[in-house]
Amino acid sequence: MSQKRISVGGQAVIEGVMMRSPTVYATAVRTPQGTIVIQKNRYTALTHRFKLLNLPIIRGAINLVEMMWIGIQSLSYSASQAAEDSDPKPKKTAATNLSIFGSVVFALAMGFLLFFYLPLWLTELLDVEGSIAFNLIDGAFRLIVFLAYLILIARWKEMKRVFQYHGAEHKTIYVFENGQDLTVANARPYTTLHPRCGTSFLLVVMLVSIVVFSFLGKPETWGDRLLRFAFIPVIGGIAFEFIRLSAKEKFARVMAPAIWPGLTLQKVTTAEPSDDMLEVAIAALVACLDYQNARLEIPS
């Protein structure tokens, strides 16, 4: 089967999967009645609207915020559909958009406090001398907090199904990337680990932050601290470029050792999905590809 080589990605949601292509994102959810409902939305990334925002590093920071916005919208839709009394066609209102905006701001603020301010505060308590030592310890605390966070949510019973849908998302993307028919049988053999996963991206962010902050030295004043925090979008942009480069076939062998830690960490955030979960992931991707004029059908 001939398929146009486009970039697709996704995210696990509550009882479902969100898939995105360059101009569409679709969320497929398994309802309590066992049916699959799908919401499709067109979108044009800011990096496509404004060439200046498509410059390396800048595009990564923009992409991160956009994906958070889309992800929270998809989570909101999946939560409503997974409920027993869900409205099959929930209406979008100004209040809904305001709520989503508030959720994005809250998520960014919590990520900033947990993964950047808390490690910095803990390091300052140790009264470490020397810029290099300070930033290495700060980075070590950041990694510990990040890993502890993943391990804790992995112990949350309700997250197991989300992690299974995460695995279904990855398997389905592999089928598409290898030009195969989108069927459960074709998806089943693939690994649940994918180099462009958000888990790998976050780990790269943690590691890149150590290098970037080392150049900024040891923060002595509030101005120094604010400067470090101002570089967080730059760190996200660098991590985005790294993940983007690692996904290119010609760099795959060279980048393999560098992406190995991220793939290993995905063993915590992904799990083997059931066939009905793969069906949901396939439905979401087919919905995206339909909008991309791909001639695919959901398998019976």
**What percent of the chain has pLDDT above 70?**
87
pTM of the model: 0.84
Q: Which residues pair with 9 in a beta bridge?
A: 20
Tell me what pLDDT residue 268 has.
Answer: 92
Is residue 299 situated within a structural domain? no
**pLDDT tens digits, one per residue of 66-89:** 888 888 889 889 988 887 655 555
Is residue 167 situated within a structural domain? yes
Domain boundaries, position 249: 9-291
CA separation for the pair 14, 217 (Å, rounded) = 42
Is residue 172 situated within a structural domain? yes
Is residue 297 situated within a structural domain? no
Is residue 113 situated within a structural domain? yes
Is residue 296 situated within a structural domain? no
Instruction: Please tell me the total count of domains within the chain.
Output: 1
Q: Judge whether 217 and 131 are in contact, CB under 8 Å.
A: yes
Q: Which residues pair with 19 in a beta bridge?
A: 10, 26
Is residue 1 situated within a structural domain? no
Q: What is the mean pLDDT of the chain?
A: 85
Is residue 15 situated within a structural domain? yes
**pLDDT tens digits, one per residue of 30-52:** 999 999 999 998 888 888 888 88
